[in-house]
């Protein structure tokens, strides 16, 4: 099965939806799937008609984690192959640090190992009661190494470490209580309705403010507080001097919805 068959990319209005399409295998992450996800996100981020992006899994699982068949073969290969195997997954995590648009995970069923990392790299996680989150790598002689970078920013340190050291799972309600999941919906239909509702929220806000603000948040949240305050004063400038603030404030005083511009609109003005 090619990467194009393992990943489906569709549109729900202004929302770009990426679906893991190996339901029978519980949507595992192999090299081709990870590369397909990376390329799908890059394409949707570059599309000016897409205002937000979501990822979900077909069938009864969100993503079962790394493909164990491929991983088992690494033990018989050389060091370089083992090092390069998760390269596309690392690329995907790195891409999420600089994503120019909001990213949502719609989780129905297990999100295990790399699947939990896939959900955790997103800005918003929506789930159904069938969702479960776990990092069971220690049960097969691994440790959830790559996904630490995002999950350490998404879950309380002690609870995350306990999950990593025991491999035990938490359900959607516990994940919601911990602040990992934003909302829990009763079933898959409700989950997709919730996804559309979030897409509408992201469609209503300034794309420039989201694009620049998400990047600024990543920078500021990793700085010491004093440095973050100094940096924030400079990072305010593109917002204060940008066209979206003028449009947003004028729309507020005119009591009308803002007419936001996209990067392509700005290019047309200068061409």
Q: Is 137 a catalytic residue?
A: yes
CB 40 within 8 A of CB 254: no
Tokens of 49: 């008609």
Parallel, antiparallel, or unpaired for β 103-107 and 110-112? Answer: unpaired
Q: Distance (Å, rounded) from C-alpha 180 to C-alpha 150?
A: 11
Q: Which own/partner contact pairs does 78-86 have at CB distance under 8 Å and 24+ positions apart?
A: 85/31, 86/34, 86/146
Parallel, antiparallel, or unpaired for β 28-29 and 65-66? Answer: parallel
CB atoms within 10 A of CB 107: 31
Q: From the candidates 5, 80, 98, 137, which is the catalytic residue?
A: 137
Of the candidates 148, 35, 39, 31, the residue with the CA atom closest to the CA atom of residue 82: 31
DSSP string, 53-119: EEEEESTT-SB-EE-HHHHHHHTTS-HHHHHHTTHHHHHHHHHHHT-SS-EEEEE-SEEETHHHHHH
What amino acid positions are annotated as catalytic residues? 137
């Amino acid at each position: 099965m090619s990467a194009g068959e393992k990943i489906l990319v569709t549109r729900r209005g202004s929302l770009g939806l990426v679906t893991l399409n190996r339901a029978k295998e519980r949507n595992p992450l192999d090299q081709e799937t990870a590369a397909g996800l990376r390329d799908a996100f890059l394409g949707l981020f570059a599309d000016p008609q897409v205002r937000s992006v979501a990822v979900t899994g077909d069938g009864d699982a969100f993503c079962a984690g790394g493909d164990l068949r491929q991983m088992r073969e690494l033990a018989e290969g050389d060091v370089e192959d083992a090092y390069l195997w998760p390269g596309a997954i690392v690329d995907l995590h790195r891409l999420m640090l600089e994503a120019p648009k909001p990213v949502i995970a719609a989780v129905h069923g297990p999100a295990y190992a790399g699947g939990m990392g896939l959900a955790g790299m997103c800005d918003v996680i929506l789930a159904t009661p069938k969702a479960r989150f776990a990092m069971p790598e220690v049960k097969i002689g691994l440790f959830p190494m790559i996904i630490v970078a995002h999950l350490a920013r998404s879950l309380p340190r002690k609870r995350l470490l306990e999950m990593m050291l025991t491999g035990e799972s938490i359900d959607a309600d516990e994940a919601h209580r911990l602040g990992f999941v934003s909302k829990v919906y009763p079933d898959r239909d409700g989950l997709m309705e919730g996804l559309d509702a979030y897409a509408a929220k992201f469609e209503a806000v300034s794309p420039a403010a989201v694009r620049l603000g998400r990047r600024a948040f990543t920078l500021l949240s990793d700085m010491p507080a004093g440095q973050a305050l100094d940096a924030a004063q400079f990072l305010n400038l593109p917002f204060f001097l940008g066209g979206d603030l003028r449009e947003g404030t004028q729309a507020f005083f005119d009591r009308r919805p803002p007419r936001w511009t996209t990067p392509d609109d700005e290019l047309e003005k200068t061409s």
